[in-house]
Structure 1
Amino acid sequence: MTLPQWRRNLMNQIASLSLTTYPDPAPPKIAANAVAVVKQIGASLHAVAITVDIPDVSNALSSYLLDLPNKIREVETASRKCGTTLLQAVAREASQSGVTLTTQEITAPPALMGDVAAKESRYFDVCLVGWESDNQAARMAAEAILFGSGRPTIILPDAADVGVLGHVVIAWDGSRVAARAVADAQPFLERASTITVVTVTDEKPLPGRDIGERLAQGLRTRGLAAGAASIQAEGRSIGTALQEHALKIGGNLLVMGGYGHSRIRDFVLGGATEGILSELRLPVLLSH
């Protein structure tokens, strides 16, 4: 079957993968999962290892009692070694899967690692980050990139292997950020065998009736296999309700708007976004 003209005219995308190394290394499955995602949309991959650069604030007494300069060098060396190991793992996965890869290593002070990752991510089409709930560095990078890169961010859970992203679930409330997420998810939507638009009806006032079906109809008009469903949170967090329903119907990728804002590098997440990140169970494309 011939693809519609708008599909053939898509540029080849480049995905950015941010690999944290301090204080915790990026999740172990991130290399394989990131390569699996970009292969499915025919994208190239740019992997960035972010290593720590700790300012030397020692004085004569701390140097004598704590050997602080040497400890700093040890931490920085371990961070660089971790970055090299992560980039090598990505290179192996990319080579095995036939994915075009470029790599980079950058340094940043501990408090600015997320900001640096976000700024680097602005030069690419989509951002990939690994996620472990107890990994401080992974959370810092994910939140900074989501709210600071200006790019859609796919958060990949370390608890699961990324398979074929054939069933895409769209969380739809008719909002601006939800519409932005649908547009950003186009490379995945056009390759999906099934698309389900899900609206949570008991969480907040919605802009109209049958808004999910209206979006699904628009996607069908574009030649995509889309349907709509309405669910109720029933006391659960909206993030939990969306993920549970997505998994129940065989969803492989959840697409939703990312709510929240940053204030002096302290991230304040909206309820839906916080619910997703508190227990990530499948890949989620978040767009802010």
Structure 2
Amino acid sequence: MKLMASLSLATYPDASSSKIGANAVALVQQIDAALHAVAINVDIPDVSNALSNYLLDLPYKIQEVEATSRKSGKDLLKAVTQEAARGGVTLTTQELTAPPALMGDVAANHSRYFDVCLVGWAPANQTARMLAEAILFGSGRPTLLLPDSQDVEVLGHVVIAWDGSRVAARAVADARVFLELASMVTVVTVTDEKPLPGQGIGERLALGLRMRGLVAEAVSIQAGDSSIGTALQEHALKIGGNLLVMGGYGHSRIRDFVLGGATEGILADLRLPVLLSH
């Protein structure tokens, strides 16, 4: 059965970078997946009255914003289409509309029909962050963040952030397709961040991966004065990791996202592709 990846594209108020097309295609090529790209366009309810029409010309401003959003969506889909054609990737595209407050919900609901969800990431793009958080907590699917600042490389070295928790175990299961393609897997346990459920938990996971035919090792690190998200990414990059796999901690209180420390650290300063699973 062929895998299907969903790429959610932000259009308003901050549009995704066109670089996400190349990165998404490069990634799905590696896992031999089909790609479905969806632009989430804004649909602003008309709440104008006679006074606002006279003073602000509100209907025109709404039309202008919606037109800008639709143009951004079409431009992004065109860029993805061109990249997919060059890369020989099977692609389908779609445009969805939603009020500004519900764009994340629409993206999350749509993402439930796919195997893995892709989101482009730029530090200043709050719309992309909103979509990523909504998809992570609301889709029930793994969410793969692709930083716009770099090209997606061959994901040959997968690094697993492991603390023995349910969400970490879920992330490992969701990353199976990437683990099977990896030439090396490193299990990293941070020992000074919180109590862990026993000794040698990283080596226990690494042993299980080796029994499944993977090349895997376990290491323990200390975060020290760094945030756990920073420590994990710095170590992953230090050992040549191309993909970081970790559980996404936190929950949503009616779209008010409350994030765990590790997840917040990753989202605040993304340095390499990260697969988050809730």
Q: TM-score range by the shorter chain?
A: over 0.9
Q: Do 2:118 and 2:146's aligned partners in 1 also have CA atoms closer than 8 Å?
A: yes
Distance (whole Å) between structure 2 residues aligned to residue 96 and residue 216 of structure 1: 38
Distance (whole Å) between structure 1 residues aligned to residue 55 and residue 72 of structure 2: 28
Distance (whole Å) between structure 2 residues aligned to residue 105 and residue 15 of structure 1: 16
Question: Are residues 1:257 and 2:219 paired?
Answer: no
Gaps of 5+ in 2: none
Distance (whole Å) between structure 2 residues aligned to residue 157 and residue 231 of structure 1: 24
Gaps of 5+ in 1: 1-10
Matches within 5 A, 1:1-288: 11-288=1-278
RMSD: 0.6
Instruction: Provide the secondary structure at the position in 1 that maps to 2:171.
Output: helix
Q: Percent of aligned positions with the same letter in both sequences?
A: 79
TM-score, with normalisation over the residues of structure 2?
0.99
Could you give the per-residue CA deviations for residues 218-246 of structure 1, whole angstroms, max 9, x where no partner exists? 00100011111110001210000000000
Q: How far did residue 27 of structure 1 move?
A: 2.3
Q: How far did residue 135 of structure 1 move?
A: 0.8
Distance (whole Å) between structure 2 residues aligned to residue 29 and residue 123 of structure 1: 24
TM-score, with normalisation over the residues of structure 1?
0.96
Distance (whole Å) between structure 1 residues aligned to residue 149 and residue 86 of structure 2: 22
Could you give the per-residue CA deviations for residues 117-160 of structure 1, whole angstroms, max 9, x where no partner exists? 00000000000001112111101100000000000000111111
Letter in 2 for 1:165: L
Distance (whole Å) between structure 1 residues aligned to residue 115 and residue 18 of structure 2: 24
Letter in 1 for 2:112: R
Instruction: Provide the secondary structure at the position in 2 that maps to 1:177.
Output: helix
Distance (whole Å) between structure 2 residues aligned to residue 192 and residue 49 of structure 1: 31
Instruction: Provide the secondary structure at the position in 2 that maps to 1:190.
Output: helix
Distance (whole Å) between structure 2 residues aligned to residue 163 and residue 29 of structure 1: 14
Q: How far did residue 183 of structure 1 move?
A: 0.3
Q: Do 2:41 and 2:66's aligned partners in 1 also have CA atoms closer than 8 Å?
A: yes
Deviation beyond 3 Å, 4+ runs, structure 1? none
Distance (whole Å) between structure 2 residues aligned to residue 160 and residue 275 of structure 1: 19
Q: Do 2:18 and 2:79's aligned partners in 1 also have CA atoms closer than 8 Å?
A: no
Aligned residues, how many?
A: 278
